[in-house]
A and B are shown apart, each in its own frame.
Chain A
Amino acid sequence: MNDMLPPPRRDLVDHDAVRDQLLRETRQMPTRTRSPRLILGGLAVTLAAGAAAAAVVIVPSGGKGGNGGDEPTITPVAATEVLDRASKAAGELPDVTPRGDQYLYMASKSRQYVSFINGKQEVDRRSRMEGRVEWRSIDGRHAGLMSQTGMGDTWMCDNSSDYEAMSAKAKAAGTGRPKVNAAKPPKGCHDTPAMVTGLPTTQQAMRSWLYEHSQGGNPADVQAFITMGDTVRDRYLRPSSLALMFKAAGTIPGVTVTRDVTDLAGRKGIAIGQTFNGTRRELVFDPKTYRYLGDREYVSHKDSHKFPRPSESPSTQATASTEAALPEGTLLYSYALLKVAVTDKVKQTPR
C-alpha cells in the first residue's frame, strides 16, 4: 500500500542556480504591461490655421498603432503602498544638515517635447534633451549656478542689485547674460532657499502644508500634488520631512500607480501620479530602493479622480484643447535626477 503514497519530498537540483537564472530571465522578459518609452521628436512650428498649440510631449514607443496593451497601466489602490515604501526609504537616508553657505548639487537630464497641432491633429513634434547641473544655495542668500548643455553657465541670483547691475552691463555690451566667473559671484541674492525649513512634523500637518503652500487654478488636490512634486524635485528636505511628505502624498485623492516605467536615463521605475485635464503628472521611484528618480508628464485623457473643480477655472479650459489632440501616453516632459549631493562651492563636483 505504500505505493499509494507519494515518496518523500526532495529539493530542487541546484536550487540557488535555478533561482539566479530565473531572476536573470525575469529581467529580460517583456512585460505585459508596457511602459511608455521615450521617443524623440522635434520642436515644431505653427502650421496654417493659426491656432498654434505648442505642448511639450514625449511618446511611448508602442505608439498609436499598438493594441492598447502599450498604454501604461494605472492601478488606483496601490499608491499609498508605493508611497509608504518611498517614505520608509526616505526615512532611512543619512540625515545631512547642510550649512546655509553650502549648495545643493543636482545633476539631471530632461527632455521637453513640443508638438505642433494643426486643427485637431499633431503634425509635428520635436524635442530637446537637456543635461543640467545645478548648485542651489542652501539658504538662498548665495549665488547659485546652473550649467546647461549648449547654454553654458548662468548665475542664479534673484532680487539682487549686484546681479541686476551685472546683467545691465552685459546687455549693454551685447553679450546677453553676464559672463560667469565662479570666483566673483554676485552678492545680495534673495532666492528661494534650496533647503526647506519649518516643515511640520506630523503627516496630517504635512498634508495641510502642501495644500496651504499651493497656488494656481487647479483643483486643490491637483495643486497639492504638484506642490509635493516640485518640492521633492527642486529642494532639499531632511529625511524625516521627506518621509512625511511622501506619506502625506499618499492621502491626496486621485493618486494612482503606474508600473514598469522606464525613465529618461533608461532606469526601470515605478511611478505614482495624478491625471487631470488631459495631463498625467508622475513621480518616478526606483522599484528596489524606492529612491526618487525623477518625474514626468504625459497626455492622459481620463482623470484619475473626480476632482472638485474650483468655482471659476479659466485656465483649465484653455489648456484642455492642446492635449486633447494628442494621443494617450504622449510624453510632454520627462526629468531624471542623476545625482544629488551637498557641496561647499559652486562648480564643485561631488565624488
Chain B
Amino acid sequence: MNPHTPTDDELWNRARDGDERAFGELFDRHATTVYNYCFRRTASWSEAQDATSVVFLETWRQRGRVQPQSGSLLPWLYGVATNVLHNQRRGMRRHRDALSRMPRPVPPPDDADEVSARLDAEQRMRRVLDAVRKLPRRDREVLILSVWEELDHNQIAEALGIAPGTVRSRLSRARARLRDLSTEPPSAEPPSAALPSTGRAAGAAPFRAAKGTPPDTVRRPVNAYLPEESR
C-alpha cells in the first residue's frame, strides 16, 4: 500500500458522507473476504453471494452508526455478516427487492470446471460445518472468526460487539469443548494424543498440519479447529 492509498477509515468516511465511489472501493477491497466467510458459514455459494450483497446493503443502511475502531472496516463487515447469517430471513426480507435486481449468484452453466469445483467445495464445506455445529452458536462464531478468518481478539470483539475478555473466554471454552468432542467416539485416542496435529494430508494449510507425520487413520475432525498454540 503506498502512502496515497486511502485507508478504510478515509474511504468509509467519504462513503458515509455520500461518495459512492469510495463505497465501491471498499466493496472491491472486502467483498471476497465477506463472500468466503459467508460461504464458510452456509456451505452454499449462492447463499453466500446473496448474503454478501445484504451485508453491504446493511452496512450502507446503518452507515450513520458505523465508525470502524481498528482502522479497518473488515471487523464491522464480519459483524454484520454474522448477524445477517444468524438472522437470515429478516435481513433477506428487508433487501428482497434489491436482491432480485442483483446479478444471478451462480456461474454460467457452460463453465463446467467452475461449476463442478464449486459443487465439490460445497460438499466439502458441508462436512466441515457438520463438525462445528456441535459447538454452541456464540462459541462457534468466535472460533470461526479466530481460526478460519484469522481475526485477533480485538477485531473479534469489535465484530461481535463483545468485550475482548469475552472473546478470550469463549475461545477457550470452545477449544475445551472441541477437545472433549474429539475424545468422543469414534475417536479412540485420549485427548492428550489428540492435541498435536498429526498427519493431515498436504493442503491443510489453514491449520498448518505438521509435515512428515504418518497419515492419521482415526477420524478426529474437530481437532482441526484447534489453533496452533493449543495443540
Contact = CB atoms under 8 A, between A and B. Distances in A.
B103 interface: yes
Given A4-B207, A13-B49, A17-B103, 13 more contacts: A2-B203, A2-B204, A3-B128, A5-B128, A5-B206, A10-B39, A10-B117, A13-B104, A14-B103, A19-B28, A21-B103, A25-B98, A288-B19
A295 B130 CA distance: 59
Contacts of B128: 3-6
Interface in A13-31: 13-15, 17-27, 29, 31
B49 A33 contact: no
Most buried by B among A1, A26, A73, A288: A1
Interface residues of A, number: 43
Contacts of B219: 1
A82 interface: yes
Could you say which interface size class chain B belongs to?
Answer: 35 or more
B82 interface: no
A1 B199 CA distance: 9
B216 interface: yes
A11 interface: yes
Residue from B23, B60, B148, B220 having most chain A Cβ neighbours under 10 A: B60
Contacts of A287: 14, 17-19
Interface string B50-70: 001100110011111000000
A1 B124 CA distance: 11
A173 interface: no
Given A4-B128, A6-B40, A7-B125, A19 B18 contact: no
Interface string A77-93: 01001100100000000
B80 to A, nearest CB: 14
A11 B32 contact: yes
Given A33-B64, A287-B17, A4 B223 contact: yes
Interface of A: 1-15, 17-27, 29, 31-33, 73, 78, 81-82, 85, 257, 259-260, 268-270, 287-288
A6 B206 contact: yes
Nearest to B225: A4
Contacts of A29: 57, 60-61
B23 A23 contact: yes
Contacts of A73: 64
Contacts of B221: 1, 3-4
B71 interface: no
Contacts of B125: 6-7
Contacts of A82: 17
B197 to A, nearest CB: 9
Nearest to B131: A4
